[in-house]
Chain A
Amino acid sequence: MDTSATQAVIRFGLGQRGAEPLPANPQAWLSAQLTGPDPAQFAPTLPTVADGLILLHEQNKLHLPPGSSLVQPVLQEDMAAQAAELLTTAAPFRERLVWFWANHFTVSIRQSGTGAVVGPYVREAIRPNVTGPFFAMLLAVMRHPAMILYLENDASVGPNSPVGLRDHLGLNENLARECLELHTLSPAAGYSQQDVTEFAKILTGWTIDLKAAQPGFRFLEEAHEPGEKTLLGQTFPPGEVGGLMALDFLASHPATHRHLARQIAAHFVADDPAPDAVAAVEGALRDTRGNLGAAAGALITLPASWTPLTKFRTPMDYAVAALRLLDLPEDQRPPLPHVMAGLGQPLWNAPLPNGWSDQASDWAAPDAMMRRIDWSYGIAGHLGAQDPMVLADAALGPLLRPATTDQMRHAGSRRDALTLLFSSPEFQRR
């Protein structure tokens, strides 16, 4: 039984859209998305990071009453645009990589101020870099005002810098710590608190200029801790260049490659991926000095990637897959961010900097399952005259179990039949 076409669409993609034909050559279909351009098109009215910062600056000056916001409408528009891309993209593998890396480098709107810039962050720092060098993405992220705001590096000042001495300010280690722990090395590299502190010093002065005509990242020399710093035995010179060198060092560190490889494999292949699967992705990163397109390319050639239905869909995966399958006209689509919130995974709202889990154990709860079922019953009411059996075949093809088709055939209505599909064990997985 050849399950590879279905597998390509649900494992590496976002689920089948409508009754579109399956890719004839799954490997080639995936590879083309890694080498081709990002087809995402966003409205020119969506904000850049400069627009977002201007808005944020205005809002901060206005002392608005509770409940009113300049940022909120822009955030809503951004959310809707990015969510629509999930539902309609013709390059779903590439889109999934965007969301994987955006989650790896989480910026959450739970931290105040980030709402104005999180949409631009994904478009500017993540999206252009998903098939390029990891260093390029890391640098774009670390210099992006969204990340600087989220992990408060704008509040980190070298104690011996002119600003530090004048205002008695000091380090904020947040960005440095999360960069080492989550974004690059991981604790497996065995770094120390001293390394965190040194890296925080390296990153002092990496801040935001809110008052410029085009506000954005700025290296503020007067806030930068003077002198050489030592991170994991390596010495880095003072100034912005020290930070660039440190990020390059971290991006190409073997521990970083191992950490990224494990995360990629755990996201796409299995909650607890086999060591050889991790090793294959790690090898691709090592051999290309951290090329993310090469890592994704290695991923799709792993035999383990083609074992069906090993991953439990997160609420976002689940909602996206169901809505792509239904493929409703734009004016009839429920707002995806609203749906995601209802299912327990609100968009850009991860509780912590480690982002949303993709492990089954973190999502498998009785109430969460019931919410999926109830939502699917609601959305199945939009089916109209489409044949649910055709959609079931499109969604899962050879992975559809006879028990599910049997129950669907005996359903009392199209809506019931589609609810059964959406509530089947196989549709809960990818």
Chain B
Amino acid sequence: MQITRRSALLGLTAAWTLGRSSLAFAAAPTDRRLVVVILRGALDGMAAVVPYGDPNLAAWRQPLIPRAPGMPGGMYDLGGFYGLHPALSGLHEMYAAGEMLPVHAVAGSYRSRSHFDAQDFLESGADQRLTSGWLNRVVSALPASGAAAGEALAVGVSVPLLLRGPAEVGSWAPEGYQAPPAELYARIADLNHADPLTGPLIAEGLSERGFAHGVFGMGAPHGNSLAMLAGAAGRMLAADNGPRIVALEAGGWDTHAAQSQRLTPPLRALDEGLVALKQGLGPQWRKTAVLVMTEFGRTARMNGSFGTDHGTATVAFVLGGAVAGGRVAGTWPGLGATKLFENRDLAPTTDLRAVARGVLVQHLGLSGAGLDSVFPGAGGIAPLGGLIRPA
């Protein structure tokens, strides 16, 4: 374990439970802060930002729709057509303050619905698997300036592909064991339940840890590691000589069953994490843009186990003090049977790379060859406009 001076100052040296979150940092010659959050497992965009105004929604997935806006425990209304999931209260406050911008019906170029491949392409920013990530190339593409670039630092068990590459990032791995999230425990119990040796041991072990049988989806009995990491990331980003680019990842989004119950804990963790990031940044929040993205969306139809399977388009979030939010961007394709992609998924209308390119152009001032180097082969994809407030 390597402990840097900064991580020690931030009190990150204690053993802890990281859950399935991690973060990584890079320095960059800019005063702007950029945070990219990867949601691994494919977030159901229509569960996070619910198109409750679409007349076809209920036909596909009535049991998955939260209560209507205005009802007790209901969605937060985002202007009469979309509703924000009730667990996302912090994001709703940012939305109300004009700092949060969902972009709906986004997807990358990848269409085959494999998590591993899709995450690779999402992070490499290309149509083939690369050994570097697009966020690392952002660091290289930024024009050199006199701005102080702090020491780079990665926190977590590994640096995600998104931030791997020629631009240097440091690393710091926490000591101690990291507990898998509840949903993965459930799969492991499932995988072993028929085994005469390991099955009973794992069932008992989980029981001793406070997991009641059959309710794994109700949340793990350990704290929100994402909030802890995001808060730390915010404090590091806020420092004058700190890093400027952060990659965060959070898992738990692969909701094939009991989606309504299983999605609430990770959504709440994400919400708390983003609030903690904002608090950590303090006044520097106004110089910050955060892009939250996931590898693909999920089926429009609910499946037989009250979940959804791998789909295509989903939602992305752009938020931060620098963001021109308070509305939902993107073009809604509609959920009529003939509008669905391959008769099953929300159809993509905005390329995720257009969203990312929009942030890079408007927030970090990238353009030309620098911008093209970040997403090879995406030169024809126009950056999405209007994401960042004019300075």
Q: Evaluate contact between A420 and B120: CB separation under 8 angstroms.
A: no
Q: Are B158 and A367 in contact (CB under 8 A)?
A: no
- In the assembled complex, how far is the CB of residue B195 from the closest CB belonging to chain A, in whole angstroms? 4
Binding-face segment, B173-181, B226-234, B273-281, B359-367: B173-181
Q: Which residue of B lies closest to A383 (CB)?
A: B158
Q: Which residues of B contact A375 (CB under 8 A)?
A: 177
User: Please, how many angstroms separate the alpha-carbon atoms of A375 and B157 in the complex?
Assistant: 12
CB proximity of A241 to chain B, nearest CB, Å = 50
A23 within 8 A of B: no
Report the separation of the CA atoms of residues A382 and B171 in the bound assembly, to the nearest whole angstrom: 12
The B174-212 residues at the A interface (CB cut-off 8 A) are 177-180, 183-185, 187-188, 190-192, 195, 197-199, 201-202, 204-206, 208-209
Bound-state Cα–Cα, A420 to B184, Å? 8
> Please, how many residues of chain B have a CB less than 8 angstroms from a CB on the other chain?
43
Stretch from B62-70, B102-110, B248-256 at the A interface: B248-256
Q: For A410, give its contact among B129, B180, B256 (CB under 8 Å).
A: B256
A364 to B156, CA, bound (A): 30
Q: Is B22 an interface residue (CB 8 A)?
A: yes
Task: Judge whether B177 and A423 touch: CB under 8 Å.
Answer: no
Q: A412-B40, A413-B251, A414-B116 are in contact. Are A420 and B188 (CB under 8 A)?
A: yes
**Given the complex of chains A and B, what is the CA–CA distance between A172 and B178 in angstroms?**
47
B residues near A419, Cβ cutoff 8 Å: 180, 184, 188
Q: B184 contacts which chain A residues (CB < 8 A)?
A: 377, 411, 416, 419-420
Which single member of B41, B116, B129, B201 contacts A365 (CB below 8 Å)?
A: B201
> Please, which residues of chain A bring their CB within 8 A of the CB of B119?
413-414
| Interchain CB contact under 8 A, A366 and B208 | yes
Question: Are A420 and B191 neighbours in the complex by a CB distance under 8 Å?
Answer: yes
Q: With A364-B197, A382-B158 in contact, do A425 and B192 touch (Cβ < 8 Å)?
A: yes
Residues in A with CB closer than 8 Å to B42 are 412
Q: Assuming A382-B158, A412-B40, A414-B119, is B180 touching A373 (CB within 8 A)?
A: yes
Also in contact, A378 and B204, with CB within 8 A (given A370-B209, A385-B120, A411-B187):
no
A381 with B178: CB separation less than 8 A? yes
Find out whether the CB atom of B205 lies under 8 angstroms from the CB atom of A366. yes
Contact B41 A412, beta carbon cutoff 8 Å: yes
Q: Mark A389-417, 1 if CB is under 8 A from B, else 0.
A: 00000000000000110010011111111
Taking CB atoms and an 8 Å cut-off, the chain A residues in 346-403 that contact chain B are 360, 364-371, 373-375, 377-378, 381-385, 387-388, 403
Given contacts A414-B119, A424-B191, A425-B192, contact A369 B202 (CB under 8 A): yes
A403 to B190, CA, bound (A): 9
Q: Is B346 an interface residue (CB 8 A)?
A: no
Known contacts A373-B180, A377-B179; A366/B201 CB under 8 A: yes
Q: Which of A388, A403, A428 contacts B198 (CB 8 A)?
A: A428
Name the distance in Å between B43's Cβ and chain A's nearest Cβ.
10
> B205 contacts A425, CB within 8 Å?
no
Within 8 A of A (CB), among B214-257: 251-254, 256
The CA of A368 and the CA of B177, in the complex, are separated in Å by 13
Question: Is B287 on the interface with A (CB-CB < 8 A)?
Answer: no
- Is B32 positioned at the interface, with any CB of A under 8 Å from its CB? no
* Contact across chains for A416 and B209 when beta carbons are under 8 A apart: no
Q: Are B178 and A420 in contact (CB under 8 A)?
A: no
* A387 and B157 alpha carbons, distance in the complex (Å): 18
Contact B187 A420 (CB under 8 A): yes
Which residue of chain A has the shortest Cβ distance to B157 in the bound complex? A381
Report the nearest B residue to A334, measured CB to CB: B173
With A411-B254, A414-B119 as known contacts, state yes or no: A366 contacts B158, CB within 8 Å.
no
The reply to whether A415 and B20 form a contact with Cβ atoms under 8 Å apart is: yes
Task: Tell yes or no: A342 within 8 A of B by CB.
Answer: yes
A312 contacts partner chain B, Cβ-Cβ < 8 Å? yes
Please, which residues of chain A bring their CB within 8 A of the CB of B252? 412
CB nearest neighbor in A for B196: A425
- Is A412 in contact with B251, judged by CB distance below 8 angstroms? yes
- Which of B131, B178, B195, B256 is within 8 Å of A377, CB to CB? B178
| Contact between chains at B201 and A364 (CB < 8 Å) | yes
| Minimum CB–CB distance for B90 against chain A, Å | 24
Q: Would you list which residues of chain A between 148 and 182 have a CB under 8 Å from chain B?
A: none
Closest to B180 in A: A377
Tell me if A411 and B115 are in contact (CB < 8 A): yes
Contacts of A342 in B (CB 8 A): 177
* A425 with B197: CB separation less than 8 A: yes
Please indicate the chain B residues that have their CB under 8 angstroms from the CB of A407 in the complex: 187, 190-191
Query: When A366-B202, A381-B158, A411-B187 are in contact, do A374 and B116 touch as well, CB less than 8 Å?
Result: no
B207 CB to closest chain A CB, in angstroms?
Answer: 8
Distance between B378 CB and nearest chain A CB, rounded to angstroms: 21
Q: How far is the CA of A416 from the CA of B256 in the complex (A)?
A: 15
| Contact, CB under 8 Å: A424 / B208 | no
Q: Which of B158, B177, B178 neighbours the largest number of chain A CB atoms within 10 Å of its CB?
A: B177
Q: Which residues of A contact B374 (CB under 8 A)?
A: none
Q: Please, which residues of chain B bring their CB within 8 A of the CB of A373?
A: 180, 185, 188, 202, 205
A381 touches B156 (CB 8 A): yes
Whether A378 contacts B178 by the Cβ 8 Å rule is: yes
Q: What is the minimal beta-carbon distance from B161 to any residue of chain A, in angstroms?
A: 6
The 8 Å CB contact of A425, one of B157, B191, B206, is B191
A385 touching B180 by the CB < 8 A rule? no
Q: A365-B201, A381-B157, A428-B198 are in contact. Are A412 and B188 (CB under 8 A)?
A: no
- Name B residues whose Cβ lies closer than 8 Å to a Cβ of A: 20, 22, 40-42, 115-116, 119-120, 129, 131, 156-158, 161, 177-180, 183-185, 187-188, 190-192, 195, 197-199, 201-202, 204-206, 208-209, 251-254, 256
A residues sitting closer than 8 Å to B (CB atoms) are 312, 342, 360, 364-371, 373-375, 377-378, 381-385, 387-388, 403-404, 407, 410-417, 419-420, 423-425, 428
With A383-B158, A385-B120, A416-B20 known, 9 other A-B pairs at CB within 8 A are A367-B208, A369-B198, A371-B177, A385-B161, A403-B191, A415-B251, A423-B191, A423-B192, A425-B198
A-B contact pairs, 17 of them (CB 8 A): A360-B197, A365-B201, A370-B202, A374-B180, A377-B178, A377-B184, A383-B158, A404-B191, A407-B187, A412-B40, A412-B183, A413-B251, A416-B41, A416-B180, A417-B116, A425-B191, A425-B192
